[in-house]
Structure 1
Amino acid sequence: MSWRKITFIVVALIVLLGGAAILSKLFISMKPEQTERPNVEMKRSVKVETVNYDEVTSPLWVQGRAVSGSEVLLVAEASGKIEPGAVVLRKGTSFKKGQVLAEIYKDEVELALKARKAQFLTTMTSLLPDIKVDFPDQLNAYETFFRAIDLDKDLPEMPDVKDDKLKVFLASRGVLSEYYGIKQEEKKLKRHTLHAPFNGTFTQVNYEVGAYVNTGGQIAQMIRTDHVEIEIPVPNEDSEWIRINDKVMIQSNQNQAKIAGKVVRKSDFIENETQSRSIFVMVNQAHADQVLPGEYFEVQFPGQKIPDAMEIPRGAIFNSNTVYIVVDGELKKREINVIKRNETTLVFNGLPEGSKVVAEPLINVKENTPVNIMGEENNKPNSGNQAKPQ
């Protein structure tokens, strides 16, 4: 390649690169200069409530379980074979108060008692002539007593013995000891028949008809069905707002029917596992058939009237008793006096009336943060000093 061609190529490259540099500077100079945006401070809007104290009634909803008013064991007071009564001795059988639930074989005991009464009649027959001679004023009373004795019935009441000589006479003939011995046997005989102490049902049966049971054997377990209560475990801090005789409303989890009830007892101890206190509500007797033991119910307690207080959402409280209030557009911390904690709200006092207390949970905020009150926002942004263009 000749020297002339090399020189031409070098000159062309220099011209091309120089032209590109000139055009680049020209385009850069034609670009409009950017101005710095003003600093805008964004304020968050918060929901507030104006502190205004009044009388607050805070009801309490708690779930409880229906329990029988009485749960007892049917225990044998005599030994022998179990014989049928007026109801079937099986789990789930219902019965009425006074019905014979079962009998324990008693024929031998009954015959022995009749034989003893017959012997007592013989003794009284031999005494009447002596009473007629020695105690004529008592003859009529003892003759009436003698005629009232029936082998199939309990002995009648013996005439009062006020005369000391008559008392010695009866004691020497063994009349008094025999009389009270028979009365004792009559009571033992009655223990062979088991009567229902209330309207109820069997929840467990250990011995059925035909089985042999010893004295003290637990034949069955039964509950009362015409007297039902709701046992409600309530946190101890809430139990102080419940009073004996408070009227409550009971609602089934199965339907929307509501039943009236009344608080009848409060336990005087705290359950170890739940740290709760049991409240017992008696169901209105007219609706007792609608409440089955073992079923769960929602119970509404009316609560007590709290004077000079206010209620706000629990989420607005932090550190257990601290809230934010808005003062001159900024958040300020204030402590409150917590009176009662509900599931979603809290009853308090301790702030000056008229204060603007924040009524919602706030995240990532601190004291003195500028805020707007929801509904009173200033739509104009708060601009800072605008930077000078460079």
Structure 2
Amino acid sequence: MRKIILSVLGILFIIGAFYVAKSLISSKNRPKPVVQKVVKTVFVDTVKNKTIEIVIPANGSLVAQNRIELFSEVQGVFNGGSNAFKPGQKFSKGQALIRINSGEYYASVQSAKSNLYNSIAAIMPDLRLDFPNVFQKWQNYLNQFDLNKTTPALPKVDSDKENYFITGRSIVSNYYNVKNLEERLSKYNIYAPFNGVLTEALVTKGTLVRNGQKLGEFIDPSVYEMEVAISKTYADLLKVGETVQLNNIDTNKTYKGEVVRINGNIDATTQTITVFIEVKDEGLKEGQYLEAKLNAKDEPDAIEVDRNLLLDNNKMFVLKDSLLDVIEVKPVHFTDTKMVVKGIPNNTIILKRQVPGAYAGMLVTPYEEKKNATKPAKN
């Protein structure tokens, strides 16, 4: 009985192995699935060479072309000026910006002027006797001498004898001593050299001002300058008098400027050259940040494309018969996002946007914008 059972199991195992082998053989003959090739759609553009205006971007902040820092050369109590000495206060040309109390010093000047007058008056009798021909001009000088006005220049000496006589009486030394005191007296008042506005005030009325102390800043708000640094490559392309477009990044407002100076020295560290641009506008303020666009030159037979389309510094992808190919180009100018290139024939189809994983020989299809069909109007 046992032998019969083992025989039946062996027969069943052989039959099962036969069917398993048959299924394995049949599975090898199944056709492999066909992998469909993916064709990428790309954005393209047709080359039309033209003259490209190369614009150099630069930026900087505005500084008043006419500005003065106010310092005191004398000591005294600050008395104010024609208007309140506060930031934002406007002054017209000739108005007193600063008045410092000069009462004590004024008295010493008047004393020196009186001594000069007395010393000249003391020599008049001798002049009448010894120099009758010059007596009248010195008499006229005394007649026009006014202690409340600026001391007039001494009469011109006609001879050495007269010069020795006048000098020996210390007239000349007394005169220049008075002029020196008058010059220092004028420093107690500071007048506006132009129409402008006070941008900084460091003292108030009643403050004790010391010699050398800074008092404030005064500017002319009608004319500003902007200093920009550009590459030395364009040093020979820029010219004084060239018009420059200035943009306010915050408000998108544009201004018209003019190149007024170009530094002849190249910065050894940055290899840049400094250009000064003058701009006039009532809406501008000192310290305002602007962006300048300087017209460097016109580049003929060139196109402007995205900078990321450049390969290996001098190559670009083109489309030929639905296949990508690579050609050599000549980049002539770069900006942050764009570049100007030459050397691409007209009507050449180039990529308009970068394609990830692109390679020469890659099969692509150009993107075509679908135009919406016009629906017939209903009656």
Give the TM interval when normalised to the shorter protein: 0.7 to 0.9
Q: 1: CA distance between counterparts of 2:212 and 2:125?
A: 47
* Deviation readout 1:315-371 (Å, 9 max, x if unpaired): 21133332123456543333332211123321122445564443321211222x144
2:61 pairs with one of 58, 65, 70: 65
Could you tell which deviates more after superposition, 34-43 or 216-225? 34-43
SS at match of 2:258: strand
Q: 2: CA distance between counterparts of 1:149 and 1:204?
A: 39
1:163 pairs with one of 159, 162, 184: 159
Give the residue type in structure 2 aligned to 1:334. I
Cα distance change on mapping 1:373 and 1:149 into 2, 3 Å = farther
Q: 1: CA distance between counterparts of 2:236 and 2:309?
A: 24
Corresponding residue number in structure 1 for 2:376: none
SS at match of 1:225: coil
SS at match of 1:58: strand
Could you tell which deviates more after superposition, 129-138 or 342-351? 129-138
2:351 pairs with one of 345, 358, 379: 358
Q: 1: CA distance between counterparts of 2:168 and 2:231?
A: 69
- Answer yes or no: is the 8 Å Cα contact 1:201–1:225 preserved in 2: no
Q: Which runs of structure 2 are paired with 1:1-390 in the superposition (5 Å)?
A: 41-60=37-56, 62-198=58-194, 199-205=196-202, 207-232=203-228, 242-253=238-249, 255=251, 257-266=253-262, 268=265, 279-284=275-280, 287=281, 289-327=282-320, 329-351=322-344, 355-367=348-360, 369-372=361-364, 374=366
- For structure 2, list consecutive stretches of 5 or more residues without a partner in the other structure: 1-14, 369-379
Q: 1: CA distance between counterparts of 2:252 and 2:319?
A: 43
- Answer yes or no: is the 8 Å Cα contact 1:48–1:373 preserved in 2: no
Cα distance change on mapping 1:253 and 1:314 into 2, 3 Å = closer
- Answer yes or no: is the 8 Å Cα contact 1:324–1:334 preserved in 2: yes
SS at match of 2:216: strand
Q: 1: CA distance between counterparts of 2:129 and 2:191?
A: 47
1:266 deviation in Å? 4.5
Q: 2: CA distance between counterparts of 1:310 and 1:356?
A: 13
SS at match of 1:208: coil
- Answer yes or no: is the 8 Å Cα contact 1:203–1:223 preserved in 2: no
Cα distance change on mapping 1:242 and 1:151 into 2, 3 Å = same
1:187 deviation in Å? 0.3
Give the residue type in structure 2 aligned to 1:219. L
Could you tell which deviates more after superposition, 104-113 or 131-140? 131-140
Cα distance change on mapping 1:270 and 1:332 into 2, 3 Å = farther
1:188 deviation in Å? 1.0
1:145 deviation in Å? 2.0
Corresponding residue number in structure 2 for 1:382: none
Give the residue type in structure 1 aligned to 2:102. K
Q: 1: CA distance between counterparts of 2:291 and 2:345?
A: 37
- For structure 1, list consecutive stretches of 5 or more residues without a partner in the other structure: 1-17, 377-390
Could you tell which deviates more after superposition, 307-316 or 246-255? 246-255
- Answer yes or no: is the 8 Å Cα contact 2:88–2:197 preserved in 1: no
Could you tell which deviates more after superposition, 168-177 or 58-67? 58-67
1:264 deviation in Å? 2.4
1:259 deviation in Å? 3.0
Could you tell which deviates more after superposition, 34-43 or 208-217? 34-43
* Deviation readout 1:36-79 (Å, 9 max, x if unpaired): 77776554454444555432113455554332224432111111
- Answer yes or no: is the 8 Å Cα contact 2:324–2:364 preserved in 1: no
Give the residue type in structure 1 aligned to 2:109. L
Give the residue type in structure 1 aligned to 2:62. A
Could you tell which deviates more after superposition, 130-139 or 112-121? 130-139
Q: 1: CA distance between counterparts of 2:52 and 2:44?
A: 19
Q: Percent identity?
A: 23
Give the residue type in structure 1 aligned to 2:338. T
Please report the TM-score for the alignment, with normalisation by the length of structure 2: 0.77
